[in-house]
């Protein structure tokens, strides 16, 4: 879809409420242009790779994460994520449980002056690190709200964004309950983790998994009994984030503290 069409659609969709008859009208206007864009923005295909043979997910062994942020750096480099501090495809949160039982959460790598609260060691009961990223939900609200089908679920379990079709309306950013999407400041389209799909289809690991020095991140194919992820799931008590929302995340945590949201 060319930029003029994208701007027109974005104008229509942003100025017309999403619900009701008028919302339906906006979607109807959007549909032919989106369909026309389908050919130009073909979804990724790799010769010799059959997505129906795989179904990917990621494991996080919380106790192993040391908060070194190497995964975040590797992701930024691999995927051209803007260097500014508030754009992430993956990020690491430090949870501090204070002696008064209150909880302080901060993103690792932020300068001290940008933090909401710096907790003194003597006030800290315990602390731990939680790597976060798009959960590649099996029931993804971000996909459901996109008015132009620019974001979709692949057969092998990734949720991707087609930046040629995205009109930057931010509906998906608002719909994601995990804060996993942002609007790319240069392309003005939605951006997020892809599980490094371009690497995975070639048999490589996502960049964040490859660089993790403690193997706190585990990537694998849920259809393969031999995969590290399947073994990890078998041997640990697994939790997902915000299970009550029925998004069916495919990022699985072991050792997750009840305070983590």
- Does residue 180 interact with ligand SF4 by CB under 6 A? yes
Residue 161 makes contact with ligand SF4 by CB under 6 A: yes
Q: Measured from the CB of residue 155, what is the shortest distance to ligand SF4 in angstroms?
A: 15
Taking contact as CB under 6 A, which single stretch among the options 36-44, 58-66, 186-194, 253-261 is the one that binds ligand SF4? 186-194
Q: Which CB atom, from 92 or from 119, has the smaller least distance to ligand SF4?
A: 92
Classify 144 as helix, strand or coil.
Answer: helix
- What is the x/- site pattern for ligand SF4, positions 54-93, by CB under 6 A? ----------------------------------------
Task: Name which position in 136, 200, 206, 208 contacts ligand SF4 (CB under 6 A).
Answer: 136
Please tell me whether residue 168 binds ligand SF4 under the rule CB under 6 A: yes
Binders of ligand SF4: how many residues, by CB under 6 A? 29
Q: What's the rounded Cα separation, in Å, for the pair 99 and 258? A: 16
33: CB partners within 8 A, 6+ apart: 1, 5, 8, 9, 148
- SS3 state of residue 131: strand
By residue count, the chain amounts to: 261
Our CA angle for 159, 139, 41, nearest 5°, is 30
Which stretches does DSSP call E strand in the chain?
A: 56-61, 90-98, 103-107, 124-133, 151-153, 159-161, 182-183, 190-191, 217-221, 238-239, 251-254
32-40, 75-83, 129-137, 206-214 -> range binding ligand SF4 (CB under 6 A): 129-137
Q: Does 211 bind ligand SF4 (CB under 6 A)?
A: no
Distance of CA 104 to the CA centre of its chain: 23
In Å, how far are 57, 131, 138 from 242, measured between CA atoms?
17, 15, 14
Q: Which of 169, 200, 207, 216 touches ligand SF4 by CB under 6 A?
A: 169
From the list 25-33, 45-53, 88-96, 169-177, the region that binds ligand SF4 by CB under 6 A is 169-177
Place of tokens 């008028």: 22
Site of interaction with ligand SF4 (CB under 6 A)? 134-137, 140-142, 145-146, 148, 150-151, 159, 161, 166-172, 176, 178, 180-181, 189-190, 192, 247
């Amino acid at each position: 879809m060319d930029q003029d069409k994208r701007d027109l659609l974005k104008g229509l969709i942003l100025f017309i409420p999403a619900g009701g008859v008028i919302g339906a009208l906006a979607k109807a206007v959007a549909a032919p242009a989106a369909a026309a864009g389908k050919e130009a923005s073909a979804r990724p295909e790799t010769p010799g790779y059959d997505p129906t043979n795989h179904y990917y997910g990621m494991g996080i062994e919380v106790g192993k994460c040391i908060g070194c942020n190497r995964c975040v750096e590797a992701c930024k480099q691999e995927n051209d994520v803007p260097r500014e501090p508030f754009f992430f495809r993956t990020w690491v949160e430090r949870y501090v449980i204070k002696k008064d039982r209150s909880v302080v959460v901060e993103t690792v790598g932020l300068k001290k002056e940008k933090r909401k609260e710096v907790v003194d060691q003597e006030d800290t009961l315990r602390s731990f690190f939680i790597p976060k990223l798009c959960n590649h939900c099996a029931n993804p609200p971000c996909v459901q709200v996109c008015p132009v089908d620019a974001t979709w679920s692949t057969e092998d379990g990734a949720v991707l964004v087609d930046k040629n079709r995205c009109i930057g309306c931010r509906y998906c950013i608002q719909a994601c309950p995990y804060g996993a999407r942002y609007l790319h400041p240069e392309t003005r389209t939605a951006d997020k983790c892809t599980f490094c799909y371009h690497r995975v289809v070639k048999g490589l690991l996502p960049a964040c998994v490859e660089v993790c020095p403690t193997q706190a991140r585990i990537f694998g194919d849920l259809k393969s009994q031999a995969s590290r992820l399947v073994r990890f799931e078998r041997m640990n008590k697994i939790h997902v984030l915000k299970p009550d929302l029925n998004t069916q995340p495919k990022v699985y945590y072991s050792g997750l503290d009840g305070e983590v949201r």
